[in-house]
Structure 1
């Protein structure tokens, strides 16, 4: 690997300058009235997507699945969940994106499968099956009283334990997520080859331009399977990420994936295909650089989740949805850390504040009250659009969609993680071990649950926001008549229009916005977020007010105002939730 210090400028590659638009297929557009979004529905909205000015589409899992975890529990990598459509529909979508000069990537979900996948059905059929070792199977332990116990005390990402007893073969199987999502054993060579063929090459051969790689740093486990230390005395299961995250063979596995598969494919216009990994629980820059250094030939970039985890407890533990109030300097330090970690390296970074696994950014980082939500949306758009790295937008972000109303019952929430955390909280509270957990987790879910991002897209003022003519799989937001794409497309001052403007400006000033170095100013200010971007002789100053009160504008030293999130600016003062960018050429 080339020493990081030898790099002084980042090589320009298509995916660095691209803005990606993530589509969650269940909630985007239903074409046939069955309540589920589908691929034909996405196809019908290609003109809208292209009009945004994005460069690539990321389609979340549409593979065949029992949908316990909304498609992240795959039963067949080479088939499409029938309510979504067919493989031919996806091929048509790939072609439509390419015709509109947009790349197209899919999710790669290969830490685990569904328990309904043929591979797992064979694996659990007998201890002697050739695919038995494609998953992790272990015999029971027994306590001093002869009671059966799981092989380890590890806690699942979705609450509860990571081991489920199989009566047929009388062994436990491992699942870091839901019990219906058994973990694949990457230690097995035949298993890895099957993954490469079925989950990757099948779709690359059909013209996709790369992958968002799910749970990418969890493939390698500590296979001695030790118990985790007890850090939660109230629970029989304990956080154990040190035994299944960034494991001993993880870089070997990802290098092999790149060498044997990804390096042999090109995009529709002859460029290298792209990978962006979901890299959780990796807090140190050097740990991330080990994955994204160009010389390492592993991943092109990763999602590091400090920004979306603001206010959350650590993932994989009982306190994930225990909300902790945070102050703006915490966000600024996170942004600074992941903006600057690529300086002088051959690595790359990403910019995002929404995805399918988090609450909406306006509700979390701005203010979703009626008088402030549009101003918050535009301020956040401006604040993030000028940051270095590849920008990822999530469906509905561009129209300012917000969290589900606080008045909604928890019973409206559909996500398996939300349900599991809620069930656990109720049990712990009622048992008296932690009497207030039920109330705390309810409040945390109302702000941070994955369900908020999965509400149906709000297209117009028709019933269900124009998402479906039938009953949606998940309730449409009550505000769809006020927040929707059709209304905003007709309004030059809308959130949608402002996002389009910021996308244009990001392209026009790609040198300083995308490739410029980041310099945080006034780090401890609790009201405004101010930073400079520098590229050769060009400088941009970004100032964003995160409060409902006017705040002093930092000195601009004769710089030219490029854009404000307000139509009219006030000298020396940032108005509530106003963002501005100044340029000095």
Structure 2
């Protein structure tokens, strides 16, 4: 059946002549260390486990891996509450283990990027302990306030109605100091005060320390929260307006208010530009490869674009593109996908790269969000669009969320809820141990228990099984990573369009190089397409790779005028001259 509805082709040309640095058009892999590989049998992943598996990442074809936090922590928020920014968390290993990781990564050819968590520390950090005691050097390291006196009750209450991401007030009373401190996440994660130059200097010291240790860059966590509005003339913080969102009626929820005073303050962008200047200066002074900054910001589209730079100063090379995470779901049409792709490509400043993030440790897994039948289609999309691809560990296998009972839940975001609501808030399901093989505990550990339960399907869905299979999610992924190195994918033009509600078709071609065509069928029925209507293809094309359930296999020759787009299948073809 030939489809009639066609959206006009939008041709986008990358503003970069060719990728020359290691990070350009990179393929990045996020490792959640606690769940990646346990080397000592305690049921918790560690640095030696990561070192052991670096060759695996290289064999797939990744450029670099960024590690979720590995610093010393009480683990209230599993490493995002840092007690010492200069030390390794003992459960993960020692500084010697880290040094061996860096050495092995250089041997293998994988760059190591660290998760930098600058917005807050742990309440067990020495800085906070000294701040509580009003140490002159640390008194204003955090955000403190006396609070307000309720005119009716006469009792002291928080300075404002600001709510934490993890529910309830973002202000916590401290008996020792007799003041409230701000925490935009858990109560054990007090916010640092970036209006204090000493804090800015200390965090730059942290960056420099790890650059000296040999890391290739940083993924900067929770960027929009760095600054809050300053105190007003009455030494008070203003209440945030109510969101009036009918889906968020609980005053304790973060979504109950609009966060106009606690997120996305103008100073935030300047801070990112300062950190970019720091890593660039380090590169100039010390040589080696350029260092990379990635920024994590769930914020407006315009704000994300500002993280690239302001036309005068550079920001992060990779401001994470969460458009697919935030705005695309199972009900999205082909036009929805195309719209979001075009929006990013057309809005980018000149001379930068796009990036695509389809999963991470804070969101349900791709296979659970879109369906296992679409995992290859989504990975094909990720790997064939221009720019950077970011993959969360396990997505290359099609790992799915694991049901975690209320009793087994450890994520503070869920634990602050209740048995009826916790699961929708929990990030535990996507953080379960990596499935290496069919042995006990999925080959994740030699021990008899794991910090979160292993998936029930690990015996049939694991890395070893997929590596041995002639066709698997992982084999398809490896093929995609290899073909992505071709000139047409690295710097070629993108022409993309939607055909009806279900079909996305696009081409990638660099002048003088092969023409590649990608067909994605989001629908539940097969559709026949005449590809020659849309691209300058000859009568035949070769299948480079296609989804696991496709009727085609790699190397098949197909008639381009009668291409069968199988349901929920993605296909990469190359024209035959």
Normalised by the length of structure 1, the TM-score is 0.85
Q: Against the structure 1 CA distance between its residues 512 and 304, is the aligned structure 2 distance closer, same or farther, given a 3 Å change threshold?
A: same
Per the alignment, in what secondary structure is the counterpart of residue 159 of structure 1?
A: coil
Determine if contact 1:290/1:296 at 8 Å carries over to the other structure: no
Q: Structure 1: how far apart are the matches of 2:530 and 2:77?
A: 46
In the superposition, relative to structure 1, how do residues 236 and 177 fare at CA in structure 2: closer, same or farther (>3 Å)?
closer
Residues 270-281 of structure 1 aligned to structure 2 (within 5 Å): 270-281=288-299
1:123 corresponds, among 112, 122, 131, to: 131
Matched with 1:411 is: 407
With 47-56 and 531-540 compared, the bigger mean Cα shift is at: 531-540
SS of structure 2 residue aligned to 1:573: strand
- Per the alignment, residue 380 of structure 2 pairs with 382
Is 1:502 aligned to 2:514, yes or no? Answer: no
Q: Which residue of 2 aligns with 1:254?
A: 272
Q: Name the counterpart of 2:365.
A: 360
Equivalent of residue 578 in structure 1, options 566, 569, 574: 569
Does structure 1 residue 565 correspond to structure 2 residue 541?
Answer: no
Displacement of 1:262 in angstroms is 4.2
Do structure 1's residue 292 and structure 2's residue 308 form an aligned pair? Answer: yes
Say which SS state the counterpart of residue 412 (structure 1) adopts. coil
State the shift of 1:350 in Å.
Answer: 1.2
Equivalent runs, 1:34-183 vs 2, <5 Å: 34-126=42-134, 129-145=136-152, 146-183=154-191
Contact kept? 1:289, 1:347, Cα under 8 Å: no
- Alignment RMSD: 2.6
Gaps of at least 5 residues in structure 2 are 1-12, 232-236, 553-557
Q: How far apart are residue 339 of structure 1 and its match?
A: 3.3
Structure 1 pair 269–54 and aligned structure 2 pair: CA distance change class (3 A): farther
What is the distance in 1 between the residues matched to 2:279 and 2:184?
Answer: 26
Residue 26 of structure 1, aligned match among 31, 34, 39: 34
By how many angstroms is 1:37 displaced? 0.4
Q: Is the aligned partner of 1:542 residue 2:550?
A: no
CA contact (8 A) 2:509 2:516 kept: yes
Residues 1:481 and 2:481 are matched in the alignment: no
Between the aligned partners of 1:456 and 1:31, the Cα distance in structure 2 is: 13
Cα distance change, pair 231–290 in 1 and its aligned pair in 2 (3 A): closer
Deviation per CA, 1:26-75, whole angstroms, max 9, x where unpaired? 00011111110011111111221221111112111111001111101110
Offset, 1:527: 2.1
Change (3 A) 1:457 1:7: closer
Distance 1:531 1:268 in 2: 42
CA offset at residue 15 of structure 1?
Answer: 0.9
Assess, with a 3 A threshold, how the Cα gap between structure 1 residues 240 and 120 changes in structure 2: closer, same or farther. farther
3-state SS of paired residue (2:277): helix
Q: 1:490 aligns with which of 465, 468, 483?
A: 468
Partner residue, 1:433: none
* 1:442–1:330 Cα change, 3 Å: farther
Residue in structure 1 matching 2:429, options 452, 457, 472: 452
1:542 to partner: Cα distance: 1.7
TM-score (norm 2): 0.86
- 1:182-261 equivalences in 2 (<5 Å): 182-197=190-205, 199-224=206-231, 225-232=237-244, 234-235=250-251, 238-261=256-279
Q: Is the aligned partner of 1:398 residue 2:396?
A: yes
In 2, the alpha carbon distance for the partners of 1:268 and 1:390 equals 26
The match for 2:339 is 333
- Evaluate the alpha carbon distance shift between residue 113 and residue 486 of structure 1 in structure 2; reply closer, same or farther with a 3 A threshold: same
Q: Is the 8 A contact 1:295 1:346 kept in 2?
A: no
Per-residue CA distance 1:361-386 (angstroms, 9 max, x = gap):
01112x23xxx3xxx22222212111
SS in 1 for 2:114: strand
1:307 aligns with 2:324: yes
Deviation at 1:489, TM superposition (A): 1.3
Deviation string 1:118-152 (CA, Å, 9 cap, x unpaired) is 001111113x6321111100111122322332111
In the TM superposition, what whole-angstrom CA distance separates every residue of 1:156-185 from its partner, at most 9, and x where no partner exists? 122222111111111111111111111111
Shift in alpha-carbon separation, 1:497–1:564, aligned structure 2, 3 A: closer
What is the aligned residue count? 534
Aligned partner of 2:492 in structure 1 is 516
Q: For 1:170-219, what per-residue CA distance to the aligned partner results, in whole angstroms no more than 9, with x for missing partners?
A: 1111111111111111111111111111x211111011111111122322
| Cα distance in 2, alignment partners of residues 279 and 132 from structure 1 | 29
* Distance across 2 between alignment mates of 1:151 and 1:334: 40
1:182–1:572 Cα change, 3 Å: same
Q: Separation in 2 of the partners of 1:464 and 1:554?
A: 48
Q: CA deviation at 1:236?
A: 5.7
Separation in 2 of the partners of 1:227 and 1:133? 22
User: Conserved in 1, the CA contact under 8 Å of 2:70 and 2:89?
Assistant: yes
Q: 2:4 — aligned with what?
A: none
2:356 paired with 1:351: yes
Higher alpha-carbon deviation: 236-245 or 87-96: 236-245
- Of 531-540 and 411-420, the range deviating more from structure 2: 531-540
- Equivalent position of 1:530 in the other structure: 505
Deviations 1:543-562 (A, max 9, x none): 11223321333524535334
Give 1:16's aligned residue: 24
1:241 aligned counterpart, secondary structure: coil
Structure 1 115/46 Cα, relative in aligned 2: closer, same or farther at 3 Å? same
List runs of 5+ in structure 1 lacking aligned partners: 1-5, 313-323, 427-437
Give the secondary structure class of the aligned counterpart of 2:172. Answer: strand
Contact preservation (8 Å) 1:106, 1:210? yes
Kindly tell me: are residues 388 and 267 of structure 1, through their superposed partners in 2, closer, same or farther at Cα, counting changes over 3 Å? farther
- 1:212-242 CA distances to partner (integer Å, 9 max, x unpaired)? 1112232222113311112246416643432
